[in-house]
Amino acid sequence: MDKDSNIRTYPDIGELAFGKTGRLIVSISMYTELYLVSIGFLILEGDNLSNIFPIGEVHIAGLAIGGKQLFVIMVALIILPTVWLDNLSLLSYVSASGVFASVLIILSITWTATFDGVGFHHKGTLVRWNGLPTAVSLYAFCYCAHPVFPTLYNSMTNKHQFSNVLLVCFLLTTVGYASMAIVGYLMFGDGAESQVTLNLPLDKLSSKLAIYTTLVNPISKFALMATPITNALKDLLPKTYKNRVTSILLSTVLVLSTTVVALAVPFFGSLMSLVGAFLSVTASILLPCLCYLKISGTYRKFGCETVAIVIIIMTAIVMAISGTYISLMEIAHNL
Write the pLDDT tens digit of every residue in 185-240.
Answer: 888 888 888 788 888 888 888 888 888 888 887 777 788 778 788 878 887 888 77
Q: What is the pLDDT of residues 246-293, one digit of tens each?
A: 888 999 999 999 999 888 887 777 788 888 888 888 888 899 999 999
**Predicted pLDDT of residue 92:** 62
For residue 263, the Cα-to-chain-centroid distance in whole angstroms is 18
**Predicted pLDDT of residue 86:** 67
CA–CA distance, 309 with 108 (Å, rounded to integer): 41
CA–CA distance, 188 with 194 (Å, rounded to integer): 12
**Predicted pLDDT of residue 95:** 63
Write the CB contacts of 325 (distance below 8 Å, at least 6 apart in sequence): 133
Q: Which residue has the higher pLDDT, 43 or 155?
A: 43
Q: Domain residues of the chain, as ranges?
A: 10-334
Helix/strand/coil (H/E/C) assignment for every residue in the chain: CCCCCCCCCHHHHHHHHHHHHHHHHHHHHHHHHHHHHHHHHHHHHHHHHHHHCCCCCEEECCEEECHHHHHHHHHHHHHHHHHCCCCCHHHHHHHHCHHHHHHHHHHHHHHHHHHCCCCCCCCCCCCCHHHHHHHHHHHHHHCCCHHHHHHHHHHCCCHHHHHHHHHHHHHHHHHHHHHHHHHHHHHHHHHCCCCHHHHCCCCCHHHHHHHHHHHHHHHHHHHHHHHHHHHHHHHCCCHHHCCHHHHHHHHHHHHHHHHHHHHHCCCHHHHHHHHHHHHHHHHHHHHHHHHHHHHHCHHHCCCHHHHHHHHHHHHHHHHHHHHHHHHHHHHHHHC
**Predicted pLDDT of residue 22:** 92
Give the least confident one: 53-62, 84-93, 177-186: 84-93
CA–CA distance, 53 with 21 (Å, rounded to integer): 48
Q: For the structural domain made of 10-334, what CATH number should be given?
A: 1.20.1740.10
Instruction: Judge contact between 213 and 197, C-beta under 8 A.
Output: no
pLDDT at position 99 over 80: no
Q: Is 120 exposed, middle or buried (0-12, 13-18, 19+ CB in 10 A)?
A: middle
In this structure, which amino acid lies at residue 158? N
**Predicted pLDDT of residue 49:** 86
Whole-structure pTM value:
0.78
**Predicted pLDDT of residue 311:** 94
pLDDT at position 61 over 90: no
In this structure, which amino acid lies at residue 161? Q
**Predicted pLDDT of residue 231:** 79
> pLDDT band for position 94 (50/70/90)?
low
In this structure, which amino acid lies at residue 325? Y
**Predicted pLDDT of residue 266:** 73
Residues 121-131: what's their mean pLDDT? 79
pLDDT at position 93 over 70: no
**Predicted pLDDT of residue 140:** 83
